[in-house]
Amino acid sequence: MAATRQPDNSDRQFYQPAEEFFPANSHLALTFDDITLATLYSEILPRDTQLDTTLAENLRLNIPVISSDMDTVTESRMAIALALNGGLGLIHYNMPERQQLSEVSRVKNHVHGLIQEPIKVAPDQFIGDVLALIEQKKFGFSTFPVVDRKGKLVGLLSGHVVKPRYAKKKVSEALTPRAQVHTIKKKDLGKDPIARADKFFTEHIGIHKLLVVDEDDHLQGLITMSDVERITQERNAQFKPARDAHFHLICGAAVSATRNAFGELDRERIRSHVGALVERGADVVAVSTAHGHSKGVGDTVRVLRDAFPKLPIIAGNVTSAAGVEFLAECGANAIKVGQGPGSICTTRNVAGVGIPQMTALYVCLRAAAKKKVSILADGGITKSGDIVKALTLSQAVICGGIFAGCNEAPGEIVEISGKFYKQYRGMGSLAAMKAGSAARYGHLPNPAQKVAPEGIEALKEACGSVDRVLAQLIGGIQSGMGYLGAANLSQLREKARYIRVSPAGMREAAPHDVVELKTGN
């Protein structure tokens, strides 16, 4: 009985539900660190919480996390990693349309465990060249498929012979010839390639690599025993990969409100490019701009909704109820909320506009509930606690900076004074706009100097794999839900109780008055 009793008056007075707290604070725009969530009676263990979320009738994720459509965050590798963890990647559009189609195809054709483009060597290379390649690229492996100029399999160069003593020998002299190399035809991998490969490795004692070929013996990929073992273990993971009805990983692609040379919306081009994306299997498109409550974005969403009645459409960005209603009426299913919160954004400084994220989310969520669309909290997330707070007012979060330092983000790792970094830049930075994203900010391509950038170029410390980063984030979200007694995300939205935090309270929230030996994250 005591457990289900209504909170007594003092709880009620201090820790308020969203519909009381935000209107009571309507004179002030609040973001994540301005508030904290009150704990509630719980019978829920963090590990038992469910994180699945529905963004549209036919777009369901197993975790409520999406990677930003930014050219230093999401291409196929990132989208694959997100989908394997149950989330979604939005492939950016700062690339030729054909390339974006290929990126989507890579995600949709991804076979888990199959290295689709393994590093190959040629028969006429020297072992010394291979050793130099390993050193230069810092490869942690030394066995390579050998292919001829047309990509046909010639043999396998085993790590046992990739030694300095053989440096002057040619690969062709040292390789294991084709006839002795174990292969499988791609079509024979079947519906469950991992189970097929697992069986193969059990039956072939001592063989650790299985090469995949097509009908004409062209190399199509490589499966390693260590990957198969890791994946088999991961299959027991709580959050399953996000897949479509054909068991392919889900994938999203961003598009802009493209204009023709006369400055008019290029309806035909938008329609045909999205048609091609859908043909490649894209599960959702995001009409992604800095100002979604605008005619160009609305017209683009309408064009797409008319042409593709069942396609889930994300659109944004907005920070007002009117903006949400407008995009919902144009046909969007999920609305991106966030103007200026991003870690590389300067919109609020440059243009003087934008709303801190928690207030923006509350205002937008109310309109979204009326229109039966979902809300995506886009930008400003730096830690799992921010995600928990965002999810009290949205169906999923979109993160850029958190993933930009991951191995799967585009770009090379650079070393500066013994530390490793990856580039991360705003899509409104001058460099990104020159590379194509100007339309997102309402500018013409090749912006002249007088265009004011709304983002910066930066570095993120390299942080390992998406799996590792997501494991931390998911753990944090589940802890938050456990504290609130929320078994799933809709209970989290219902149960959340908020209170403002003072600057001293904010300092109290971080480690203090100690000498930190090792950070918790």
Selected binder of ligand XMP within 35, 104, 251, 398 (CB under 6 A): 398
Phi-psi label, residue 485: left if phi above 0, alpha if psi -120 to 50, beta otherwise: left
User: Cβ(121)–Cβ(143) under 8 Å?
Assistant: no
CA 165 to chain centre: 45
Structure token pair of residue 334: 């999920």
Long-range contacts of 12-17 (CB under 8 A, 24+ apart): 14/38, 14/499, 15/497, 15/498, 15/499, 16/497, 16/498, 16/499, 17/496, 17/497, 17/498
Q: What string of DSSP letters covers 158-180?
A: -GGG-SGGGTTSBHHHHSEEGGG
Selected binder of ligand XMP within 400, 410, 476, 480 (CB under 6 A): 400
Residue closer to ligand XMP (CB basis): 227 or 457: 457
Residue closer to ligand XMP (CB basis): 132 or 353: 353
Selected binder of ligand XMP within 252, 340, 356, 476 (CB under 6 A): 340
Residue closer to ligand XMP (CB basis): 72 or 224: 72
Q: State the angle between helix axes of 97-108 and 76-84 in degrees (0 to 180), rounded to the nearest 10.
A: 30
Structure token pair of residue 152: 């046909």
Give least dist CB 253 to ligand XMP, A: 14
| Catalytic hit among 345, 364, 406, 463 | 345
Pairing of strands 252-255, 284-288: parallel
Helix, strand, or coil (residue 271): helix
Helix, strand, or coil (residue 17): strand
| Catalytic hit among 77, 106, 425, 440 | 440
Selected binder of ligand XMP within 83, 154, 345, 393 (CB under 6 A): 345
Tell me how far apart the alpha carbons of residues 202 and 199 are, in angstroms, rounded to a whole number. Answer: 5
Q: What is the CA radius of gyration of the chain?
A: 25
The reply on whether position 70 binds ligand XMP by CB under 6 A is: yes
Q: CA separation (Å) from 472 to 64, 191, 476, 509, 520? A: 14, 31, 6, 18, 10
Q: Residue 274: CB partners within 8 Å, gap ≥ 6? A: 255, 282, 285, 304, 307, 308, 311
Q: What string of DSSP letters covers 471-506?
A: HHHHHHHHHHHHHHT-SSHHHHHHH-EEEE--HHHH
Q: Residue 316: CB partners within 8 Å, gap ≥ 6? A: 286, 287, 288, 289, 292, 327, 335, 336, 337, 338, 376, 378
The reply on whether position 145 binds ligand XMP by CB under 6 A is: no
The reply on whether position 286 binds ligand XMP by CB under 6 A is: no
The reply on whether position 64 binds ligand XMP by CB under 6 A is: no
Residue closer to ligand XMP (CB basis): 201 or 441: 441
Catalytic annotation present for 440 = yes
* Residues 151-190 as x/- pattern, contact with ligand XMP by CB under 6 A: ----------------------------------------
Selected binder of ligand XMP within 64, 292, 379, 436 (CB under 6 A): 379
Report CA torsion sign: 338, 343, 346, 352: positive
The reply on whether position 335 binds ligand XMP by CB under 6 A is: no
Tell me how far apart the alpha carbons of residues 279 and 227 are, in angstroms, rounded to a whole number. Answer: 30
Give least dist CB 112 to ligand XMP, A: 26
Catalytic annotation present for 345 = yes
Selected binder of ligand XMP within 342, 356, 436, 482 (CB under 6 A): 342
* Residues 235-274 as x/- pattern, contact with ligand XMP by CB under 6 A: ----------------------------------------
The reply on whether position 323 binds ligand XMP by CB under 6 A is: no
User: Cβ(363)–Cβ(320) under 8 Å?
Assistant: yes
Give the range of 187-195, 229-237, 252-260, 393-401 binding ligand XMP by CB under 6 A. Answer: 393-401
Give least dist CB 378 to ligand XMP, A: 4
Give least dist CB 38 to ligand XMP, A: 26
Selected binder of ligand XMP within 427, 430, 470, 474 (CB under 6 A): 427
Amino acid at 365: L
Selected binder of ligand XMP within 380, 436, 480, 482 (CB under 6 A): 380
Q: State the angle between helix axes of 225-234 and 193-203 in degrees (0 to 180), rounded to the nearest 10.
A: 130
The reply on whether position 327 binds ligand XMP by CB under 6 A is: no
Give the range of 95-103, 196-204, 335-343, 470-478 binding ligand XMP by CB under 6 A. Answer: 335-343
Residue closer to ligand XMP (CB basis): 228 or 318: 318
User: Judged by CB under 6 A, how many residues of this single chain contact ligand XMP?
Assistant: 24
Residue closer to ligand XMP (CB basis): 15 or 421: 421
The reply on whether position 343 binds ligand XMP by CB under 6 A is: yes
Selected binder of ligand XMP within 252, 312, 405, 428 (CB under 6 A): 428
Could you list the residues that contact ligand XMP (CB under 6 A)? 68, 70, 317, 338, 340, 342-345, 347, 378-381, 398-401, 426-429, 454-455
Positions marked active-site: 345, 440
